[in-house]
């Protein structure tokens, strides 16, 4: 099997083939239009009275979701009934194929230089990922042609993620809903889904789930899937820094108006599309799978140097951000303006305070650890929890540097090559240090897709049980 991701065009092509293979059972419709005029498509499979909603492509740099979308659609279309969740007479699966096609176009353009064409992506054919290990695509489905990056350096040189206000799931938090957001919210209001699965990837780490309501029965199938595929469970995550943690690598949104929200200033998370199904009694599962894994995120032994390490990591993200911003300052006069260039907008957003926001977000943790009285005090942090913050501290400057390198490469200004070389040296060092310090290893695309697929089915099954239908 080729270790490759699907492009948006190929996911769409495979979706149309599914409609032809399963007429009447599978339907494809347009639910909206992106800011740049691209269609927002949703594939529905089954005719059950209970609607499950899947959102693929919410972040354009997280590309396993397209394969997962096709795998879930195949399961629902076949109606294998191995789970109540894949019984087409009980559940209709509605799958948004790519929520941010404009961002995906930029991400795919960034990867063009390393594009290798190939076909035949089928997790069923991967050793250890066949029918006995969980659902895959099935025969003839899922051509993929975007080769996974060979290293962290190649990943960050091509990755693109919009600023928060331009991310469809998060735009409502910034009080600036965009067409993609409005289309998704309309679908949620129409379907009233009992479960929404938002498909995400993390560059480095392990797998984890964020839930808007606890699903206690999800812990076992989630762990078993990860174990079968050799994917570590991430026992601590910046994304849910102060959320409840009822089971390993499962984080639940605190109830009510609690201040214990996402670390990076997301106190208004209730306005995100994640929380919209709650209006109809539904639950959302944000399913994260790693592109590169590190065993350190599963290490729950106490970290004796946590206070010092947190201080070092705050310095790391701030210093890296300052160095990227220093190069940006020199290049601002000849780079395309942020009003017309999305990469430049991300850089300016990050330079305007994101690095400090990230660094200060874990300050309460340092105070918590300092107040611990005994070695057994639960206020101590584990290696896994510190590692999760280490990943974030290294990630942010690398993301910015990769975007700025792309802009400098595209510039004809005579100052651009020297600035490019200056930043490239930093970028190369940071990428190599990241891989070494975190002991990373790549997770095959098939494993990412298989684990995300199984977890989505398990989440739907658990949510069905809560309805008395499991």
pLDDT per residue over 435-461, tens digit each?
A: 999 999 999 999 999 999 999 999 999
Asked if residues 180 and 31 have their Cβ atoms less than 8 Å apart, the reply is: no
Predicted pLDDT at 419: 98
pLDDT per residue over 369-410, tens digit each?
A: 989 888 788 889 999 999 999 999 999 999 999 999 999 999
User: How far, in Å, CA of 306 to CA of 313, rounded?
Assistant: 10
**H or E element: which one contains 419?**
helix 416-438
User: How far, in Å, CA of 98 to CA of 56, rounded?
Assistant: 5
Per-residue pLDDT, averaged over 138-153, amounts to 58
* Distances in whole angstroms, Cα of residue 437 to Cα of each of 92, 296, 429: 44, 10, 12
Asked if residues 183 and 57 have their Cβ atoms less than 8 Å apart, the reply is: no
Predicted pLDDT at 469: 75
Per-residue pLDDT, averaged over 429-437, amounts to 97
Residue 117 has pLDDT above 70, yes or no: no
User: How much is the mean pLDDT over the chain?
Assistant: 89
pLDDT per residue over 50-65, tens digit each?
A: 999 999 999 999 999 9
Per-residue pLDDT, averaged over 323-352, amounts to 97
Per-residue pLDDT, averaged over 237-246, amounts to 88
Asked if residues 136 and 123 have their Cβ atoms less than 8 Å apart, the reply is: yes
Predicted pLDDT at 149: 81
User: How far, in Å, CA of 157 to CA of 451, rounded?
Assistant: 26
* 3-state secondary structure labels for all residues of 61-117: CCCCHHHHHHHHHHHHHHCCCCCHHHCCCCEEEEEECCCCHHHHHHHHHHCHHHCCC
Predicted pLDDT at 257: 55
* Distances in whole angstroms, Cα of residue 183 to Cα of each of 73, 162, 179, 451: 20, 18, 6, 28
Of 61, 93, 65, give the one whose Cα is nearest residue 167.
61
Q: Which residues pair with 201 in a beta bridge?
A: 289
Residue 131 has pLDDT above 60, yes or no: no
Confidence of residue 109 (pLDDT cuts 50, 70, 90): confident
pTM of the shown model: 0.91
Q: List, in sequence order, the alpha helices (H) in 275-382.
A: 306-331, 342-349, 355-361, 363-370
User: How far, in Å, CA of 129 to CA of 66, rounded?
Assistant: 18
Predicted pLDDT at 113: 44
User: How far, in Å, CA of 358 to CA of 381, rounded?
Assistant: 18
Predicted pLDDT at 138: 33
């Amino acid at each position: 099997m080729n270790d490759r991701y699907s492009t948006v065009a190929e996911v769409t092509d495979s979706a149309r083939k599914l409609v032809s293979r399963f007429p009447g059972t599978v339907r494809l419709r347009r639910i909206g239009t992106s800011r740049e005029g691209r269609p927002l498509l949703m594939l529905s499979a089954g005719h059950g009275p209970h609607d499950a909603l899947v959102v693929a492509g919410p972040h354009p740099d997280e590309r396993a979701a397209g394969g997962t979308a096709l795998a879930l659609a195949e399961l629902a279309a076949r109606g294998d009934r191995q789970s109540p969740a894949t019984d087409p007479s009980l559940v209709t699966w509605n799958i948004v194929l790519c929520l941010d096609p404009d961002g995906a176009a930029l991400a795919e353009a960034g990867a063009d230089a390393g594009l290798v064409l190939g076909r035949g992506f089928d997790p069923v054919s991967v050793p250890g990922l066949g029918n006995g290990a969980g659902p895959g695509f099935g025969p003839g489905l899922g051509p993929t042609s975007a080769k996974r990056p060979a290293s962290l350096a190649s990943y960050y040189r091509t990755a693109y993620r919009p600023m928060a206000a331009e991310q469809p799931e998060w735009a409502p938090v910034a009080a600036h809903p965009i067409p993609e957001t409005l289309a998704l919210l309309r679908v949620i209001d129409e379907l009233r889904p009992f479960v929404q699965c938002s498909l995400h990837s993390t560059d480095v780490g392990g797998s984890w789930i964020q839930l808007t309501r606890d699903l206690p029965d999800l812990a076992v199938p989630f762990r078993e899937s990860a174990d079968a595929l050799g994917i570590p469970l991430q026992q601590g995550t910046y994304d849910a820094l102060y959320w409840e943690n009822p089971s390993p690598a499962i984080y639940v949104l605190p109830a009510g108006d609690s201040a214990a929200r996402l670390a990076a200033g997301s106190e208004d998370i209730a306005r995100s599309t994640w929380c919209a199904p709650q209006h109809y009694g539904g639950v959302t599962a944000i399913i994260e799978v790693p592109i590169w894994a590190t065993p350190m995120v599963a290490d729950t032994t106490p970290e004796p140097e946590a206070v010092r390490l947190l201080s070092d990591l705050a310095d790391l993200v701030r210093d890296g951000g300052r160095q990227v911003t220093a190069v940006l300052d020199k290049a601002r006069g000849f780079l395309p303006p942020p009003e017309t260039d999305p990469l430049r907008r991300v850089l300016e957003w990050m330079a305007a305070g994101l690095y400090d926001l990230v660094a200060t977000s874990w300050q309460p943790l340092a105070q918590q650890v300092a107040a611990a009285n005994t070695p057994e005090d639960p206020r101590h942090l584990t290696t896994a929890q510190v590692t999760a913050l280490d990943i974030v501290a290294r990630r942010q400057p690398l993301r910015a540097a990769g975007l700025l390198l792309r802009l400098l490469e595209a510039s004809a200004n005579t100052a651009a090559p020297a600035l490019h070389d200056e930043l490239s040296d930093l970028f190369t060092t940071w990428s190599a240090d990241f891989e070494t310090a975190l002991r990373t290893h790549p997770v095959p695309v098939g494993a990412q897709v298989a684990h995300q697929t199984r977890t989505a089915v398990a989440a739907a099954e658990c949510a069905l049980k809560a309805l008395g239908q499991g």
